[in-house]
Structure 1
Amino acid sequence: MSNAVEDLVDGALSLSTNERVALVEKLLESLDAPNERINAIWSAESEDRISAYDDKRVGSKSAVDVFAKY
Structure 2
Amino acid sequence: MNADLRNLSLDERIRLVEDLWDSIASDRNTLPLTPDQQAELDQRLDAYEADGHPGRPAEDVIAEIRKRL
TM over 0.5: no
Taking structure 2 as the reference length, what is the TM-score of the superposition?
A: 0.39
Taking structure 1 as the reference length, what is the TM-score of the superposition?
A: 0.39
Decide which structure has the larger Cα Rg and report it: 1
